Structure 1
Amino acid sequence: MSDEFTKGDHVSWKSHGSEAHGEVTKKITKETEAAGRTVKASKDEPQYEVKSDKSGNSAVHKPGALHED
């Protein structure tokens, strides 16, 4: 299991007691606004914006929360 993902990778994550699936849309490496909130990311601690297959909504997750499908 890797903590490095690239745009287009298909991943899964835990969401409200079940498992969600989606695609990585962006690697975030600086503090920015994404998915409706402020994301405190850095080059040393990146986060990933993902788009849910089911809802089409975007979310941001730390790499440890994502699992490559």
Structure 2
Amino acid sequence: MAEFSEGDRVSWRSHGGRAQGTVLKKITSDTEAAGRTVRASKDDPQYLVRSDHGGEAVHRPSALEKEG
């Protein structure tokens, strides 16, 4: 499983092709983020990211790719 740190530049598939942004934090417990309930654990983390267009989203590590 890929690991990301706060501040990492990442990209992911989006409706319009490919989106890019920055990792804000690693989520390791159930919480509310990006307008939804996020189910996460230490063994199944998710990442809160901010796109270059200002929106926030939560993604599993498998959906993210580290940029440059």
Give me the TM-score of the superposition, normalised by structure 2: 0.95
Between the aligned partners of 1:24 and 1:40, the Cα distance in structure 2 is 18
Tell me the residue number matched to 2:63. 65
What amino acid is aligned across from residue 45 of structure 2 in structure 1?
A: P
Deviation at 1:22, TM superposition (A): 0.1
Between the aligned partners of 1:17 and 1:62, the Cα distance in structure 2 is 19
Aligned alpha-carbon RMSD (Å): 0.9
What amino acid is aligned across from residue 67 of structure 1 in structure 2?
A: E
What amino acid is aligned across from residue 56 of structure 1 in structure 2?
A: G
Gaps of 5+ in 1: none
Summarize the alignment of residues 22-61 of structure 1 with structure 2, pairs less than 5 Å apart.
22-53=21-52, 55-61=53-59
Q: Give the share of equivalent positions with the same residue, in percent.
A: 63
The total of aligned residue pairs comes to 67
Gaps of 5+ in 2: none
What amino acid is aligned across from residue 59 of structure 1 in structure 2?
A: A
